[in-house]
Structure 1
Amino acid sequence: MLELAEVTPLLLSGLVRAAAARRSSEVAVWLPELGISGDRGLSSIFWPGGEQTVPRGWSLGSRERPLRIGVPASGTFNQFVKVMYDTGRNSTRITGFSIEVFQAVVKKLPYDLQYELVPFPGSYDEMVFPCFSSVLLLSFDAAVGDTEIMANRCVYVEFSQPYIESGLVMVVTVKPGLKDSKFIALNPFNKIMWLQLAAVSTATGFVIWLSEFVVTGNSILQTICSILWLPVTIISLSQRENIKNSTSKLVLAVWIYVTFVVGASFTAVLSSMMTVPRLEPSVREIDVLRNSNAAVGCNGNSFICDYLINVLNFKPNNIKRVNSIDEYPRALDNGEIKAAFFVLPHAKVFLAKYCNGYIVSGPSFKLGGFGFAFQKGSPLAIDISEAILKVSQSGHVDTLEQNMLHHSNCTSSPAASQKAADDIRLGPGPFSGLFMILGCILGFAFVVAVVRLARARWTSFCDGLWASMVVIRECCTRFGATYFCVH
C-alpha cells in the first residue's frame, strides 16, 4: 500500500493535469521532487473573461456573459433615463442622469464589472414585482433608473443606497396676490440694521445733550428720556429748544442726512413689499383637493397613483394618469387637473422646464429615494452602495444633477424673481460709509463737549477757590485788626 505522503503528490499532479486538460493550453506541471516542470516555466495565464491581467477581485460579469441590467424605456422623465433607437445602424443608445450616476459608481468598484443596459418596455413595478418578476426570475441581473425605493418592493429585490433623496410633492398653478403680514413694516431692515439704528440714535442724542443740555440739572430719568427723545424730535422738526453749539449743529446736519437716506431706502423697500403682486399657490392644502373631489394628475407609469389612493385617500375617479411631462402644463392650465403630484427629483425637472406659472405647494411626504435594484442576496447591492457613498461625498452626484437641470433652466422665472424680492432685507452694509462718517463726527463732538465741560467745571472751581481766598483774607484782616486792637 502507498503511504499518504506518496499519494498526495500524485493527487496534486493529477489535479493540475486535469485542470490543464480542461483549458485550451497547459500552464505547467508541478511535482514535489522536480517542482514546476518545463524549461520556460509558467505559460500565459488567462483569467475568467479572457483577461491576462490579474483581476482585483471577483466579478459577476464577464465579456462572454455581461450582466443584463434593465432600464425603463417608457419613463415620463427622459432626463433620468433616455432610450434612443437607431434603426439604420440597429443600435440603441441609453443616456440620462441615472445612467451617468451608475457609470460613475461602477468606476469606484474595486473590480471590473462587465454589463449591458437592456431597455425594458414595462412599468417600474413590472421590473421588480413577482407578478412579472423581471429581476426576480433572472430576466435581468439588476435594474437601473429613477426607481423609487419602496417598502413593498424591498420584499422581492435588494436596493442599493439611494443616490438621490426623494419625496412626494404637489405642484399647482400660481395666482397673483399681495403680501399679507402683521409685521411687514419691520421686514425692510434686518435685525442687525435695527440694532445699529438704535445704537446710532442713542449715541447722537447723548452727544447733542452733552453739548447743549448738560447744565440743565435734570434728574437721571429726565436725562435718559431727553437722550432717547432728542433724535426723534429733531427728525420730526418738533424740537423747540434752540441748538446753539456749533458742534451740535454739525452732528445734527450729518444725522439728518443719514436719516433721510435710510428713511428713503426703507420707504422704497416697504412700498415694494406692500404693493407688488406676489405669486401665491392656487391650492395650499391637500385636504382642499380631497374634500372638493378635484381631479389631480400623476405619472401613470409609477407608484404615485396607487400612493394617492392607498395613502392619501384620493378617490380613483379623481386621479388622471399623465404619460408625458409636456401634458402637465396643458392639463393644469385648462383646469383638467387642479394639481400634479411628482417625486421631488421629477418636480425639479418639471419646474426647471416650465418655471412660469407653477409652484410647489403643501407638505412633502418623505420617501426612500432613488436607488438601483438587484436580486435578493446579491453582493453587488453592498458594493454598489459603498460606491454610491463615495461618489456622493465627492460631490459628483450634485454636479450631475445641476447639469441636468441647467439644460432646461428658466433664467427669467417669476417664482425665482419673487423669492429674490422677498429675501431683500437691507442691512448696515449699504450704509456703512454714512455710519462711519457719523461715528467720526460723534466722536469729535464728544471730545469737544468733554473738554468744554472740564473747562467750565475748572473755571467754576477756580472762581470758587478765588472767592474763598478773598473771604478768608478779609476775615483774617478784620480778625487780625480786631485782635491786635483789643490787646
Structure 2
Amino acid sequence: MKELGSIQWPGGVQTVPKGWTSGDEEKPLKIGVPARGAFKQFVKVSYDQGKNGWYVTGFSIDVFKAVVKHLRYQLPYELVPFIGTYDEMVEEVYRKGLDAAVGDTDIMADRCQYAEFSQPYAESGLIMVVTVKQDKSEEVWMFMDTFSKRMWLITITMHIFIGCVIWLVEHENNPELDRFGAVLWFSVTLIFFAQREHLRSNLSRFVLAPWLFSILIITAGFTASLTSMLTISRLQPSVSDIETLLRTNAPVGYNGNSFIVRYLINVIGFKADNIKKIDSINDYPVAFKKGDIKAAFFVVPHAKVFLAKYCTGYTMTGPTFKLGGFGFVFPKGSPLTFDISEAILKVKESGEMRQLEEHLLSPSNCSSSTSITDGSSLGPQPFAALFFISGGVSAFAFLVTTLRLARRHIRRWAYAFHSQCYRNVASRFLFRNPVMRANNQGNMLMYIPL
C-alpha cells in the first residue's frame, strides 16, 4: 500500500484546527439550556410547531451567539432544553450528557468541582429587594429640601445685605425707613411684593430693581421644586437591613435557585422554614401583597430585571454579597473554555455587551424618582448670575453711600473741630487782659477788649 503524506490544513498547520471535522465526525455540540429558568428574560424555551423544534431566546442566548461570532473558527452547536436545577445541569456536563451549558448560571466554588466556567459575562451578587413605603417623617420639613443649605444661606445673606444697604441710603431722608426694624419688616414684605414703604432715593431703587427680579426667579424655582416633591412621593424601604429580618423571623422569597438557599442558610443565617420558593417573577408582587414574604433575594441581574418590570413600589436595599458572576459551563480540560473566555472579552470591549444589557432592561419606564429618592435640591448655580448682578449693584451702592456719609460726617466733624478751636482761642486771648479807658462824657470807666 502506498503511504500518503501528512495532511496540510489551511494556514500550513498539520494539526486538526478547532472547528474542522471530517464528514463522518461532523456533529454539533449539544449545549444544554435551563428549560425552567425563573427569569425568561435570560433564557426562554418555547416550542415552534411550524419548525417542529425548540426555540430558545433570551439575554444569555444572545450573549452566547455574539461570543461565538468572535471565535476564529466555526462552532456548530444545538441548544437542548434541560429539565432540572442549575446544579443538575452542571453535573450533566460532568457526566458527558451535555457538551456545554449556557444560561444565567452563577460561577460557584462547588460547581467548579464538576466543570469549568468561562470568563463571567455578567457581574453578579446576592441582593435583597423589598417593598417601599411613604416616608411621613420628613414631610413636615419638605419645603426646606427645595433648596440646598448653601442656596438658603446665600439667599438669606443677600436679602439681609440688600435690606441694610437700602436702610443706609434711606434712613436720613425717609421717616418710614429711619429705624432698622422697619427695614427688616420691609425685607419680609419684599418677598411677597407687598411692601408699602416708598423709596425716595434713586440709588435705593437702583439697588432694589435687580433684586426684585431675582426674587421673582428664585420664587418660581422654589415653587417648581416644591411642586415636584409634593407630586413625587418620598419613599423608604419597608425593611432597612437583613438583621431586622433575622431578628423577627420574617419570611423571605427566592426564585428556586438552589445555591441561593444554601447561601441564605449557611452564610447569612436564615432558618430553612422562613425561606419560600417563588416559581415565577409574576408571583412576587402577589406574595408581597399577601404578606407571604417580607423580602426577596435575587442575584443582581435578576433584581434589575424585576425592578425593570415592577418599578413602582420596590427597591434594592442592604449590602450586596459578591458572587462569581454568570458564566458558560464546559467540561474540565475543554479547549473551548479559553477561546470562549477570550471571545467574551472581545464582546465586552466592542460595546456589544452593553447594547445587549440595555436591550434587556429596555422595558423599564421607571425613573429614579419612582423608587427611592432623596430629592434634588436646587443649588445656587442656576441663580449665580442673578446673585452676581444684585450683589454687585448693592456693593456699589453701599460703597457710594458709605463714602457720601463719611464725607458728610468728616465735614461736620471738621466744622465742629474748627468751631471748638476758635472758641478756645477766643476765650484764651481776646478776653484775657481788658483795658480801662475813661469816658469823655464822664468819669465812668469801660472795658475795651484788645
TM bin (shorter chain): 0.7 to 0.9
Among 110, 132, 139, the alignment partner of 1:152 is 110
1:170 and 2:128 correspond: yes
2:307 equivalent among 333, 351, 360: 351
Partner of 2:364: 409
User: What does residue 8 of structure 1 align with?
Assistant: none
* Kept after mapping to 2: 8 A contact 1:301/1:323: no
Alignment of 1:265-414 (within 5 A): 265-266=221-222, 269=225, 277-406=233-362, 408-411=363-366
Q: Cα distance, 1:79 vs. partner?
A: 0.8
- CA distance in 2: counterparts of 1:281 and 1:292, whole angstroms: 16
Q: What amino acid is the match of 2:55? A: R
- Counterpart selection for 1:74 from 36, 50, 56: 36
- Residue in structure 1 matched with residue 434 of structure 2 by the alignment: none
Contact 1:179–1:274 (CA under 8 A) maintained in structure 2: no
C-alpha distance in 2, partners of 1:274/1:119?
A: 50
1:18 paired residue number: 3
Structure 2 residue runs without a partner (length 5+) = 173-178, 423-450
In 2: Cα distance, 1:117 partner to 1:230 partner:
84
* Equivalent pair of 1:187/1:425 in contact (CA under 8 Å): yes
C-alpha deviation, 1:75, in angstroms:
0.6
Residue 324 to residue 231, structure 1, CA distance change in 2 (3 Å): farther
Question: Does the 8 Å CA contact 1:61/1:113 hold for their aligned counterparts?
Answer: yes
Contact 1:178 1:275 in 2 (8 A): no
Q: Is the 8 A contact 1:354 1:410 kept in 2?
A: no
Distance apart, 1:175 and its partner CA? 2.7
The 3 A distance-change label for structure 1 pair 147 and 232 is: farther
Distance 2:17 2:411 in 1: 100
In structure 2, distance between residues paired with 1:100 and 1:276: 37
Task: State the number of aligned residues.
Answer: 408
User: Separation in 1 of the partners of 2:150 and 2:71?
Assistant: 51
Q: 1:364 deviation in Å?
A: 2.2
- 2:80 aligned residue: 118
Distance of aligned partners of 1:294 and 1:444 in 2 relative to their CA distance in 1, 3 Å threshold: closer
Residue-by-residue CA offset, 1:395-427 (whole Å, 9 max, x unaligned)? 321221111111x3235x7x743546x332112
Is the 8 Å Cα contact of residues 143 and 374 (structure 1) preserved in structure 2? yes
**What displacement does 1:440 show?**
5.4
**Are 2:47 and 1:92 aligned?**
no
2:240, 2:317 within 8 Å by CA — same for their partners in 1?
Answer: yes
- The residue identity in structure 2 corresponding to 1:142 is A
Given the alignment of the two structures, is residue 441 of structure 1 paired with residue 396 of structure 2, yes or no? no
CA contact (8 A) 2:252 2:295 kept: yes
Give the distance between the partners of 1:77 and 1:437, measured in 2 at CA: 58
Deviation at 1:456, TM superposition (A): 5.9
Which AA in structure 2 matches 1:291?
R
User: For the Cα contact (< 8 Å) 1:322–1:328, is it kept in 2?
Assistant: yes
Q: TM-score, normalised by structure 2?
A: 0.74
* Greater mean deviation of Cα atoms: 199-208 or 83-92: 199-208
Once the two structures are overlaid, the 10-residue window that deviates more, 174-183 or 139-148, is 174-183
Aligned counterpart for 1:193 among listed residues 132, 151, 158? 151
Instruction: Describe the SS at the equivalent of 1:368.
Output: coil
> For 2:347, what is the secondary structure of its paired residue?
helix
2:253 and 2:299 map into 1 onto residues whose CA distance is: 12
Partner SS state of residue 341, structure 1: strand
SS in 1 for 2:327: strand
Q: What TM-score, normalized by structure 1, do the two folds share?
A: 0.69
**Are the counterparts in 2 of residues 60 and 67 from structure 1 also a CA contact under 8 Å?**
no
After superposition, the Cα gap between the structure-2 partners of 1:242 and 1:325, relative to the gap in structure 1 and judged at 3 Å, is closer
Q: Is the 8 A contact 1:174 1:280 kept in 2?
A: yes
Distance of 2:218 and 2:83 partners within structure 1: 64
Aligned mates of 2:137, 2:331 — CA distance in 1:
53
Output the amino acid matched with 1:358: Y
Give the secondary structure class of the aligned counterpart of 1:117: strand
CA distance in 2 between partners of 1:447 and 1:255 (Å): 18
Q: 3-state SS of the aligned residue for 2:3? A: helix
Deviation per CA, 1:304-363: give whole Å up to 9, x if none. 122222222222222222222222222221222222211111111112112233222333
Displacement after TM superposition at 1:448 (Å)? 4.5
Give the Cα–Cα distance (whole angstroms) in 2 for the partners of residues 71 and 110 of structure 1.
24
Q: Deviations over 1:212-250 (max 9, x none)?
A: 789xxxxxxxxxxx99x99866523699x9976431343
Letter in 1 for 2:350: S
C-alpha separation in 2, matches of 1:179 and 1:261: 30
Task: State the distance in 2 between where 1:381 and 1:460 align.
Answer: 96
SS in 2 for 1:311: helix
Partner Cα distance (2:334, 2:270) in 1: 37
The one-letter amino acid of 1:248's match is S
Partner of 2:71: 109
Secondary structure of 1:370 counterpart: coil
Aligned-pair distance for 1:369? 1.2
Q: Tell me if structure 2 keeps the 8 A contact 1:172–1:282.
A: yes
